[in-house]
Amino acid sequence: MLGLGAFLYVMFVSVAWIMTLYTLNFYYLSYHSLHNRVHLKRKNKLRALIESATHEMPVVTVQLPIYNEKYVAARLINAVCLLDYPTNKLEIQILDDSDDETFQLIVRLVSHYKLRGLDIQHFRRGSDRVGYKAGALKEGMKYAKGELIAIFDADFIPPPSFLKQTVGYFLDKRIGMIQCRWGHLNEGYSSLTEAQAISLDLHFLIEQRAKSLTHLFMNFNGAAGIWRASCILDAGGWHSSTLVEDLDLSFRAQLKGWKSLFLENIVVEGELPVQMNAAKRQQFRWAKGSIQVAMKLSGYIFSEKNIATDTKIQALIQLTRHLVHPLFLTQFLIFPILLALNYNLYTVNWAPITGIMLYVLTGPATYIYMIKRIWGDEWKRKARQYLFLIFFATGISVNNTVAVFDALAPGKNEFLRTPKFGVISKEDEWRNKEYVLPFTKTTLLEIFFGIYGCISIFVSIFSRNPIFAPIIAIQTIGFIYVAYFSIRHSLTKEQPNYMTNHYDVTEPHPSASNITWNGKINTTAVAKSLITTSDRNSTQIGRSLYGKLIMIGILGILACGVMLVYVGYQNAIYPLDKAMGYLSRAESSQTPAMMAGYLEPAKLLLPSHGNPVWSFPNPRTDFGLIQNDLQAMIQRTNALSSVEPNSAAYNTGLQDLHGSIKIIESNLEEATPYMYVSYTNVLLGVLWMGIIILLFAALRRGRQKGRVEYENT
């Protein structure tokens, strides 16, 4: 058992060092973002050149890849058609792969804006969607007229001045791509959107700013940016071999020598996912795609002689940073086992508090410092968002770990889009709209880690290491947070009763599609009426009640599981831990009477018979034999009490008893982990998980049945 503890400890420390390297990379980029003089100097020089020079506006093609986005498509198209740019220099391509009402919506909008004299084209491909988004962009490039290609996803709203503010920077012939900063239309909608907002803000204002125009590789974020058409062609065009065609192309372009520029002062508002399952799908795609690009391009990056060493290292870290998620889960699983084994994690008493302080200083404290440097007086609001990000980042690690392993395994490379619902304000509802995603099997893993975290908290307390409990608790809250909202966001709510089918999708507005519903303003664009009947209302109420009952059942089973874990620990594990405490006191006793006084309660706490090692039992962990040894030791203490103190026989006998006690302690340490996986615990665990899975299946079946009934009413 000492070998197992040592192996797990080495693994734990090794993982910690690897994760520390990724943390140090954040410091490296933070420093460069605050001291990127190359970025500032060259950008200011370009700005001065733009203001002084008289240059002809280049032809720009705006590409809008869209797939089933009926709630936001009109908002995007209206905003793009409002761009303040010469109409004879502007081409708009709507790359539409939709197979729902979005298609008819786009047809109406295209006809409307063509009548107004705009060069707007509606491109349709086959139903197989070859290459997904990358395939659509590649197809559009065949017909694009522009020297520059601007790209916006369906959930973005470019400001009217976007092109006039950006195209001038392409006077520098070395610049192949410009990325603008993402804003957030619905940042304050929920804790989920706030967590995503601060995560993206830190990415843009630290990572992208640090890499802009330096020798470090900067990535295109897929939207709110402009490419030089010749750069795309020179880099080999859009590839669909990975799920992140934007990252893939931007790295290939920089391998060819092109420069990338980040413009933090130009903000393009976008809609953040409001459903946990949608956010998880987006994170899954980013994590899997990054690993795919790492496997695809790492060899080329490290074999290129003209690239600096630190650029190669930075590129590798960026492409593989999602490996942090499986590493974190490995640590999370190993640490409580080491505590349960009473493994000596530190040699001095001040080591734990020092380690925790270093963790805080090198993690949250540094982030808070950077938040204060970036946002100034608004730092408190962003610091609160960072707290939500800690929970979200912890809980999402299960989802992203699955993505990493999915990238390493050969298989289908399907691009699953992140659904958006046109949600801007807290009053906007999305629960009963189409595109709502059900929770997946990954949620079961998140529940497992949440429960494992609860057990770990008990282990840290009862193993006399309560100082670690707060950190474990924060991580456990993250798993529970993501699992809870994955289920909660799969349920539906009753929908308001709109009794009209009148709408107008051709009234543009910079911040919303401004669709009129019988005198009311709705911030989303839809392609069919929202006719709600009493039958449909009753169907929704039934679905909602059914989902709530199942949810209550799941929460009840989870609470029952936590209670069983606590009772099981009290009845099976805690007596062994307490017995080892008495043995530890007996080992330090200096008289036979004191030793017997500790051995007797230890003997009473241990089982009278049985062997917890059910796989390959051995005499060391047989409780019957341990009881016999303890009884014999008690008898020896009684006999030793009659021997002259301080004699050779007395000292030898006392020393021999100390050695025997140490052996018993070692045997109990070996037996303790197997108490967690006893026959009873395994059977209860399987039964418990089976009930959870059945309830999940019932919830999904009810939701699918309700959706069919809803659509048929």
Residues 300, 316 contacting (CB under 8 angstroms): no
| Identified catalytic residue from 155, 201, 246, 577 | 246
- Can you tell me the distance from the alpha carbon of 158 to that of 164, in angstroms, rounded to the nearest whole number? 12
Buried-state track 202-217, b at ≥16 Cβ within 10 A, e below 16: bbbbbbbbbbbbbebb
Number of other CB atoms surrounding residue 674 within 10 Å: 17
CA quadruple 461, 325, 320, 178: dihedral, nearest 10: -110
SS (H, E, C) 687-705: HHHHHHHHHHHHHHHHHHH
Residues 180, 158 contacting (CB under 8 angstroms): no
Reading the block at residue 532, the tokens are 């709600």
Nearest CA to 215 among 324, 304, 127?
Answer: 304
> Cα 148 vs. chain centroid, distance in angstroms?
34
Reading the block at residue 591, the tokens are 């008289």
| Identified catalytic residue from 96, 97, 153, 201 | 97
Reading the block at residue 215, the tokens are 């020798």
- Can you tell me the distance from the alpha carbon of 63 to that of 154, in angstroms, rounded to the nearest whole number? 10
- How far lies 80's CA from each of 6, 62, 73, 83, 536, in Å? 61, 8, 11, 5, 36
- Can you tell me the distance from the alpha carbon of 387 to that of 474, in angstroms, rounded to the nearest whole number? 10
The residues, ordered by sequence, that sit 6+ positions from 9 with a Cβ below 8 Å of its Cβ are 338, 343, 345
Number of other CB atoms surrounding residue 377 within 10 Å: 7
- How far lies 203's CA from each of 185, 268, 292, in Å? 18, 15, 20
Task: Specify whether 656 is catalytic.
Answer: no
Number of other CB atoms surrounding residue 655 within 10 Å: 10
- How far lies 246's CA from each of 64, 162, 176, 409, 555, in Å? 14, 20, 13, 22, 41
To which H or E segment does residue 62 belong?
Answer: strand 60-66
Task: Specify whether 246 is catalytic.
Answer: yes
Determine the 3-state secondary structure of 398 from DSSP: helix
- How far lies 319's CA from each of 225, 294, 324, 366, in Å? 20, 5, 11, 23
- How far lies 599's CA from each of 84, 571, 574, 579, 662, in Å? 87, 20, 17, 9, 12
- Can you tell me the distance from the alpha carbon of 543 to that of 706, in angstroms, rounded to the nearest whole number? 6
To which H or E segment does residue 151 belong?
Answer: strand 148-151
- Can you tell me the distance from the alpha carbon of 168 to that of 195, in angstroms, rounded to the nearest whole number? 34
Residues 425, 473 contacting (CB under 8 angstroms): no
The residues, ordered by sequence, that sit 6+ positions from 646 with a Cβ below 8 Å of its Cβ are none
Nearest CA to 408 among 254, 498, 296?
Answer: 296
How far apart are the two ends of the chain, measured CA to CA in Å?
Answer: 63
The catalytic site residues sit at: 97, 246
